[in-house]
Amino acid sequence: MKIIVLIKQVPDTTEIKLDPKTGNLLREGVPSIINPDDRHALEAALRLKEAHGGRVAVLSMGPQQAIDAVSEALGMGADEGVLLSDSAFAGSDTWATSFTLSRAIRKMDGFDLILCGRQAIDGDTAQVGPQLAEILDLPQVTAVCGISSFEPGASGRSQVLRRVRGGYQRLNCTLPALFTVVSEINTPRCPHMERLLRACKTKTAIKHWNCADLGLKTQEVGLAESLTQVITTFPPKTRRKSEILEGDPRSVAGQLVDRLQDNKLI
């Protein structure tokens, strides 16, 4: 039994600050983390492995420093890791990302299940999972919040719970398949110190593949292969009056109600 978990290293967006003058992102000093949903995906994979045996591999595409995310995943219990890193991958949109990831998965030998996070907190698109499922012609279930049965094998199937607006769905899915998971599914474990240190020191369980290793040309990946392009970025607008009401509680409450009345809000 083999599960591949897709993990992305992302800046911790709760720690991002904006330059008050230019409104640009100040990325310096922003810590990088494993995308929160992906941690839950890894935890789900590790629990399936504990129940059914087998192996868990993590796959990540990103700059060299994403090795930290892969090492951390090994520290949590993954058996092997693959990092796709090449300057040609820069600027990939989800079209190009899912394509590149699919090539790597074809190079890894077989799987029963692919687990992704539902969405990454930086790009925030929730597109990579379904697009990868499409390329690999796999059935997909998105926003999985529980895996109630898992029977890998020749005519494998799995029963999952999916969160949909206003309720839940229970689904039966043939394996191999791709699921994207949400944080409700479990509480991820912390990395095991010894494993983590071993992963960081030896790094033998981590493979590095670049564009050529995937049998791809540079013009087939990254921005060159992307269908969408970012043309501008700008700070979110705030065009508010920003008036601070002053006085004791009764007086400020009165001033506020006056403003509500003046603006016909009540």
Partner 1 sequence: MPSVWIDYDRCDGCGLCAKKCPYDAVEMRDGIPHILEQCTCCALCLEACKRGALQTDLTARTVPDFSAWKGVWVFAEHQQNALQAISLELLGKARELAEQRSETVSALLLGDQGDPLVQPLFTAGAHRVYQVQDPRLRHYTTDAYTKSLARLVEKYKPEILLIGATDIGRDLAPRLARRVGAGLTADCTELSIDPEEGILLQTRPAFGGNVMATIVNRFSRPQMATVRPGVMEKRAPEPLQGELVAEQLEGGDQDSRVEILESWTEEGERIDLSKARVIVAAGRGAASSEGLELLEQLARSLGGELAGTRAMIEEQWLPDDRQIGQTGQTVRPELYIGCGVSGAVQHRAGMAASRYIIAVNKDPRAPLLSVADWSIVGDLFQVVPELISILSRRI
Ligand X SMILES: Nc1ncnc2c1ncn2[C@@H]1O[C@H](COP(=O)(O)O)[C@@H](O)[C@H]1O
Task: Provide the binding-site residues for ligand FAD, judged by CB under 6 A.
Answer: 14, 36, 121
Options 97, 140, 158, 186; binder of ligand X; rule CB under 6 A: 97
Q: Is 212 in the site for partner 1 (CB under 8 A)?
A: no
The entry of ligand X, partner 1, ligand FAD, none near residue 116 (CB within 5 to 8 angstroms by kind) is ligand X
Options 7, 33, 34, 67; binder of ligand X; rule CB under 6 A: 7
User: Which span sits near ligand X by CB under 6 A: 70-78, 111-119, 216-224, 227-235?
Assistant: 111-119
The minimum distance between CB 206 and partner 1, in angstroms, equals 21
Residue 118 and residue 162 in contact, taking contact as beta carbons nearer than 8 Å? no
Q: Is 210 in the site for ligand X (CB under 6 A)?
A: no
CA distance 188 to 63: 25
| CB closer to partner 1 out of 4 and 143 | 143
Q: Is 16 in the site for partner 1 (CB under 8 A)?
A: yes
CA distance 26 to 11: 11
| CB closer to ligand X out of 121 and 255 | 121
The minimum distance between CB 52 and ligand X, in angstroms, equals 21
CA distance 91 to 71: 24
Q: Is 140 in the site for ligand X (CB under 6 A)?
A: no
Residue 97 and residue 61 in contact, taking contact as beta carbons nearer than 8 Å? yes
> Which residues, 17 to 76, sit near partner 1 by CB under 8 A?
18, 22, 24-25, 27, 63
Strand-pair partners of 160: 147, 171
CA distance 53 to 155: 18
CA distance 191 to 197: 10
For ligand FAD, which residue has the nearest CB?
121
The minimum distance between CB 144 and ligand FAD, in angstroms, equals 18
**Six-digit token pair at 153?**
């094998």
CA distance 161 to 2: 21
Residue 51 and residue 44 in contact, taking contact as beta carbons nearer than 8 Å? no
| Run of H or E residues at 104 | helix 94-107
Residue 94 and residue 128 in contact, taking contact as beta carbons nearer than 8 Å? yes
Options 1, 37, 80, 176; binder of ligand X; rule CB under 6 A: 37
Residues engaged in binding ligand X (CB under 6 A): 6-8, 35, 37-38, 59-62, 94, 97, 116-117, 119-120, 123-129
